Each structure stands twice: as structure tokens, then as C-alpha cells.
Amino acid sequence: MPQAGKAVRSLIVERIRLLRLLGRSSSGATLGLCAVHLLAAVTPPLTAYAASLVVEAMNAPRPALVPCVVLGVLLLVGEISDQGREGLAHVVAMRVEASVRSAVRRLALAPDGIGHLENSDFADDAMRSADRDSALGRSRSLGSAATGQLTIMFRVLSALASTALLAAYFPVLAVALLVVALFIRSVIRRQWTALAKSLDARAQDQRMVYYLSELAVRGAAEIRVFGLGDWLAGRFRGAAFASAAPTWRRMWPVLRRQWWTVLVLAVCAVAALAVPASAALAGTLPADRLVACLLLAVSLFAITAMGQEAFDIEYGLHAMRALDRLTDRFGTAAAVGVVPRPTGSAPPLIRFENVGFTYPGADRPVFAGLTLTLRPGETVALVGENGAGKTTLVKLLCGLYRPTVGRITVDGQDLATMDPHAWRARIGVLFQDFIRYPSTLRDNIALSAPGQQDDDAVRAALRAAGGDDRDPAFPAGLDTRLWAEGADGVDLSGGQWQQVAIARLLYARQAGRHLLVLDEPTAHLDMSAEADFYRRVIRSVSGTTAILVSHRLSTVRHADRIVLLRDGQVAERGTHSELLTLDGGYARFFRLQAEPFQEEHR
């Protein structure tokens, strides 16, 4: 029993918390929704009373016009309240959902690193707490759960009001009907809402369904060229079946157990009709009171209805618990604010001291005893086979991950003890998968230094990257909207987007960032632009520490120092000529890439 009491208290607390979520919406919309619910709650008992007055007036030698008008008005008010309640509930739910999604975004951005974003538990909880999708007759959102809980609360109030009025004539019958109705509702809720738990357990399959549906849009061209429509549709059906089939299978046993609840409700319905009817036949209950009692009984039994709100609430409780888990884990982290302006006027001295790093859940480390020094103002190229850890090293340097062992120092200070936002304000990064912001050309360049927009500097950075805002590709100059899906937007080729991304990095340098990282900066450039890259870009940022990550060794041959990564450590280091003389792994890679061009000239 103590355990059952604890479960009941926990359930009540969670239901109250759902109602408190309504505070995330505007007060006007929430108060309006409560007013409409209250109107809908009092209308059935008042309608029963008005109907009894109509019957009484018809049996008495006086006009029944006023009672009929009152009854008609109440019926109209009930219909209007139902319609208004649906619209207001949608508005309130949407605002609550927007607030919850904002909270999830803040929690996702709060940690200094990005390791949590690659964790499946985080992804599942983020999806559960902020999902707006729907399936199996229920909406998966905290907003719908909060408005659903409000619906249930006022429905109970309406049932209590009907019970109180019915008890004036038949107290035992009224209390018995209320107890049975609440019991039946509790049983049905437990039977059906268990399906929400079943579906909630398939969060990973649901993420796969969402990914495949997005892939059908983003990869439309490749899917058509390769004729993958049937394959994609099959994978989608398979993922959808894996997600929903266990829940559908659990529906049949629930349906088979409904017979006894239907039987109990039928017995209660007979009692609700028979007891007042017997009194009326015995002459102890007037006809008008008989009508009122029957309508009150019908209103009371409305509490047994299992609407969509029951599923909304059950799934919403899972969503709220997921949000609680995210808040417990990341709620104490400092929220990401405005990136400060760069500090310091010189590039730093950076040392990787016996650094080891292993991704969470991985079997083997990426780095084991990595030692490397990045001297101020030099250009260092990182090369190596796929999986050697080049991009991971960059993310460690940016403070997005922390070493598992060892440390990284900046001018002698441990990077782990530094303010990550202040440190990143000194870094400009061009990742291989750079972001293509759905905004203007100006923003796509200037966002690398927020709050320091200068059109002349933007144009200079674009020209240094090999582009020009007067190019026909930019019909509105810096105001050109780079958004392929917008009616007034334009898209760019891969090489043009690469130029914009490089310009973004160069603009960051002009804004005072003295450590630049370029991860595969020529991946989308043609051979001519690639050949011009070093002269145009790298030499234009002299006095800045530049780190080049590339598979194309022709891009890095002019670097001050080349570092070959292998087996989690620095395998070779030196200039291009020194490494060719060494005749090791770098020389082998270089000859392998140069061989096709040498054969063409033979």
C-alpha cells in the first residue's frame, strides 16, 4: 500500500506539473482557454436544469417560451465552446511546444563540447521532449499533454457538478455512478495508455523513420538517378513497422478485455434510467425532474470517454521525464551567450602534451600519447589516412572535446581551465561540412564574427577567397539570398559555396582571430582554383597560425611544416622536401597522388 500511495502522489505531482506548463503560453490565451473550458463544464448541468424547466412549463398553464430560449442558448453556447476550445487549445499547445523546444535547444547548446550531441540517449530524450509528430491517435508533444490535462480537469469538475445535482434526488445512485465512472476510466486509461510506453520504447526506430523521410527530400536527385525509390520506400516501411508493430500487436489483447467494462457501463446505464423511472412511475418524482436526472446521468458518464487527450497526457508524461533528464544533466551548464570579441593581438603557442582521446562507447582510442607543438604564426598541415584523427584533433583544439588523458596548453595555460567562449573567439574554423546558412551572402560571410559587420571587409574577404559580389551568381550583391528553397533565393555550385566559406574564415581573420583551421578547404574547388588557393588565401593571412587539414597533398606542400598522423600519434613531421627525402609514409602518399599526372606527361 505505501508503494501504491507513493505512485498516486507521484502521478498527481506530474499532472500538476503538466498544468503548470500552461504558464509557458501567453496569459491571455491560457485564461481564454480556461474560460471556455469552464463554460463547457457548467453547460451540461445547466442544460439539464433548463430542460426540466421546459418540461415543467409544458405541463403547466404558462408559456414555455423563456425556458425554451434559455435551453436553446445553452445548447448554442455548448457548441460554440466546443469549437472555441479546440482552436484555443491548439494555440496554447503550439506556444508551450515552442517554449519546450527552445529549452531543449538551450540545453543542447549549454555544454562547452559536442560529445553529448553524438550520444544516442541524448538524441532519444531530445526527440521525446520536443517531438511534434503524431501517430496511433495521439499527439507527441508537451503542449498537447498540458492542454489535454486541462480538458480532463474540467471534465471531472463537470462530472462532480452533475453528481452534486443528481445527489439532490438520488444520493446513493449519484455517488455510485461517479465511483463506477471514475473506476472504469482508470481501468481503460491503464489499458490503452500502456501503448504509449510501448511506442516510447522505440525512439531509435522513430528517428530512423524521420531520417528516411527527410532523405527522400534531401537526396531526391540521387535517388532518382540510381532508381532507389523502391529501396527507400521499403526501408521506410520496414522502419515504420519496427516502430509501430509492437504497439499494434498489444492493441488486440486490450480490445479483447473491453467486454467487462462495456458490461459494467451497461448495468450502470440501466440503473441510471431505472431508478429515476421507478420513482416517476411511483409518483414521487415529477416528469420535469425525471428529465433532469436522466440528462445529469448522461453528463456524469461523459467522464468515462477515452479521448485523444488521454494518449496526449501519457506520452506527455514521458516527454516531461525526458526533459527532466536533460535538465538534470545539462541544466547547470552555462548557456551559450554572445561570443566575446577576440582578445590578444598575437597567435598563441599551442602544445598537445601526451594527449589521448577515445570517443564514448568506442573500443579503441583515436589518439594515444600524441605530442605536437603549434608555433605562433606558422602554417601547419595535418595529413594522414582516413580515420587518422585529423578532424578529431581540430575539435580537441577548439575545445569541442576534452582529452581523455594528457592536456592541451595555450601559452602555457591548460585549455581545460580556460573560458571556452573566450578561447573560441580567437579561432576561425572552416569545417569540411561547413554550414550553408539560409540567409544573405553578407550574413554567410559576416557570421564568423557576430556583431562586427563591415560591408567593405566582407567584400575584401570574398575577393581574397576568389569570389566577387558583382558576379552574376549574386544578382543582388551582398543582399543575395542564398537559399535554394526560397522563391527569391539562389543556390550556388559546390565551388562557389567553398569560396563563400573560405571568405567567412578570412573575414574572421580580419576581425582579429589569429588561429585559423581549414579542414579540406579545397574539396569543392576545381584544379585551377586549388592551384591558386595557397597564394591567394594562405599568404594573405601571414602572421596568423594556420592549420591545414587535407587529403590533397598538392595543397599542403608549401606549408611551413607538415605533420603525418598515424596510429594515434605523430608519425612524421617536417617540410615537404624534408619528408620526401625521408621517403616514409608522406613520400609514398605524395608519389601515389602525383603518379596519374606524371603518366599523362610521359
pLDDT at 93 over 50: yes
Assess if residue 44 is contained within a domain.
yes
Rounded average pLDDT over 167-186: 85
pLDDT over threshold 50, residue 249: yes
Residue 364's beta-bridge partner residues? none
DSSP per residue, 95-121: HHHHHHHHHHHHHHHSSSSSGGGG-HH
330, 362, 379 — which closes off a domain?
Answer: 330
Domain assignment of residue 38, given as a range: 2-330
Q: Let me know if residue 369 belongs to a domain.
A: yes
Q: What is the pLDDT of residues 442-451, one digit of tens each?
A: 999 998 887 7
Give the DSSP H or E segment for 299. Answer: helix 287-301
pLDDT digits 0-9 by tens, 562-601: 999 988 889 999 999 999 999 998 888 888 876 654 544 4
Q: Helices 287-301 and 259-281 sit at what angle, rounded to 10 degrees?
A: 170
Task: Decide if 340 is inside a domain.
Answer: no
480 and 413 inside one domain:
no
pLDDT above 70 as % of the chain: 84
338 in a structural domain? no
Render the burial of 69-86: b for 16+ CB within 10 Å, e for the rest: ebbeebeebbeebeebbe
| pLDDT score at 338 | 46
pTM for the model stands at 0.67
Check which CATH number belongs to the domain holding 419 and give it.
3.40.50.300
- Tell me which of 3-7, 315-319, 519-523, 568-572 is least confident: 3-7
pLDDT of residue 258: 72
- pLDDT for 414 equals 92
CB-based burial label for 473 (10 Å; 0-12, 13-18, 19+):
middle
Mean pLDDT for the stretch of residues 370-374: 92
CATH of the domain at 279: 1.20.1560.10
* In a domain? residue 322: yes
Strongest mean pLDDT among 67-81, 323-337, 396-410: 396-410
Please check the confidence at residue 339 and state whether its pLDDT lies above 60: no
Amino acid at residue number 5:
G
Own/partner contacts of 584-589, CB < 8 Å, gap of 24 or more, are: 586/383, 586/553, 586/562, 589/383, 589/553
Any domain includes 274 = yes
Confidence of residue 341 (pLDDT cuts 50, 70, 90): low
Query: Is residue 337 in a domain?
Result: no
Give the residue from 302, 330, 358 where a domain finishes: 330
Instruction: Indicate if 370 and 495 belong to the same structural domain.
Output: no
The lowest-confidence range among 65-79, 93-107, 280-294, 503-517 is 65-79
Q: What are phi and psi of 401, to 5 degrees?
A: -125, 160
Asked if 178 and 38 sit in the same domain, the reply is yes
Does residue 352 carry a pLDDT above 90?
Answer: yes
Q: 571 near 383, Cβ under 8 Å?
A: no
Q: Are residues 530 and 600 in the same domain?
A: yes
The residue with greater pLDDT, 507 or 342, is 507
Residues 385, 554: Cα–Cα separation, whole Å = 15
- Cβ burial of 218 (10 Å; 0-12, 13-18, 19+) is exposed
C-alpha separations of 433 from 310, 337, 378, 420, 498 in Å:
43, 24, 25, 22, 10
Spatial contact of 438 and 482, defined as CB atoms under 8 Å apart: yes
Cβ count within 10 A of residue 577: 9
Question: Residue 423 pLDDT more than 70?
Answer: yes
Percent of the chain scoring above 90 in pLDDT? 10
Domain membership of residue 294 (yes or no) is yes
Q: How many distinct structural domains can be found in the chain?
A: 3
On the question of pLDDT at 512 being above 60, the answer is yes
Give the residue, 66 or 94, on which the prediction is more confident: 94
Residues 438 and 548 reside in one and the same domain: no
Domain-terminating residue out of 511, 530, 561: 511
Helix (H, G, I), strand (E, B) or coil at 90: helix
Alpha carbons 53 and 47: distance in angstroms, whole number = 10
Asked whether residue 70 falls in the same domain as residue 213, the answer is: yes
Residue 419 binned pLDDT confidence (cut-offs 50, 70, 90): confident
Confidence of residue 425 (pLDDT cuts 50, 70, 90): confident
Name the pLDDT band for 374 (thresholds 50, 70, 90).
very high
Using CA atoms of 146, 152, 157, 162 in order, give the dihedral in degrees to the nearest 10.
160
In 3D space, the residue among 15, 20, 34, 44 whose CA is nearest the CA of residue 305 turns out to be 44
Model confidence band, residue 526 (pLDDT cutoffs 50, 70, 90): low
Q: Is the pLDDT of residue 136 over 60?
A: no
Packing angle of the helix pair 142-167, 65-109 (nearest 10 deg): 150
Mean pLDDT of the residues in the chain:
80
The pLDDT value given to residue 276 = 85
Candidates 549, 553, 477; CA nearest to 519 is 549
- The whole-number average pLDDT for the span 294-321 is 79
Do residues 594 and 454 share a domain? no
For range 197-205, the mean pLDDT: 63
Question: Do 475 and 563 belong together in one domain?
Answer: no
Residues 461 and 575 grouped into a single domain: no
Same domain, residue pair 542 and 495 = no
pLDDT recorded at residue 573: 92
Among 238-242, 486-490, 509-513, 543-547, which is the least confidently predicted range?
486-490
Angle at 492 between CA 487 and CA 493, to 5 degrees: 145
- What is the pLDDT confidence band of residue 193, given thresholds at 50, 70 and 90? low
Over residues 138-154, the pLDDT tens digits come to 456 788 888 888 988 88
Q: Which residues are 382's β-sheet partners?
A: 549, 563
Question: Is the confidence at residue 345, as pLDDT, over 70?
Answer: no
pLDDT higher than threshold 80 for residue 455: yes
Q: How confident is the model at residue 337 (pLDDT cuts 50, 70, 90)?
A: very low
Contact 182, 343 (CB under 8 A): no
d(CA 551, CA 381): 10
- Range from 121-125, 339-343, 433-437 that averages highest in pLDDT: 433-437
Tell me what pLDDT residue 408 has: 94
Residues 120 and 232 in one domain: yes
pLDDT at position 563 is 92
Q: Tell me the three cell numbers of residue 423.
A: 578561447
Task: Please give the average per-residue pLDDT across 234-255, as a whole number.
Answer: 74
Is the domain of 217 the same as that of 261?
A: yes
